Structure 1
């Protein structure tokens, strides 16, 4: 019997869950060609450049703005007692 897929939104980029917690400066937001750049490898010495769809780039730019305003280090946030806090990798596992 095959396991069922998790009920998460489909991502066309093939990223692993841990890779979705990237630093805010990992996204280059050129309007015509947004790109996500991740440091990979055991020593973080390999750069992986992922071109984003334009509409995804705009959404990520908005998330980055919210995160910077709240002085957070990544875009995945939630409200706790009327304050934005960063989600952790353990919360979504």
Structure 2
């Protein structure tokens, strides 16, 4: 796996996939989305190992939020699902 990662990093470097997002220079555009992957400290090690250019954590708001009470997931008549978690977090000062 480490050999594969080295090859991928070489390709990214040689292809010059660097981008700039909101004033942040990234080596390439590969990053995780806000969600489960990035919500725990051990995820950071995994994302760094696999060469992500930056790590997106869970949502942080200015003020603390408790989130919505259950149910946070419902099934729709057409077989789809709708979720609303309310973005529970301790707020900026709690980080």
Q: What interval of TM-score do these two structures reach, taking the shorter chain for normalisation?
A: under 0.3
* TM value normalised by structure 1: 0.21
Structure number with higher strand proportion = 1
* TM value normalised by structure 2: 0.21
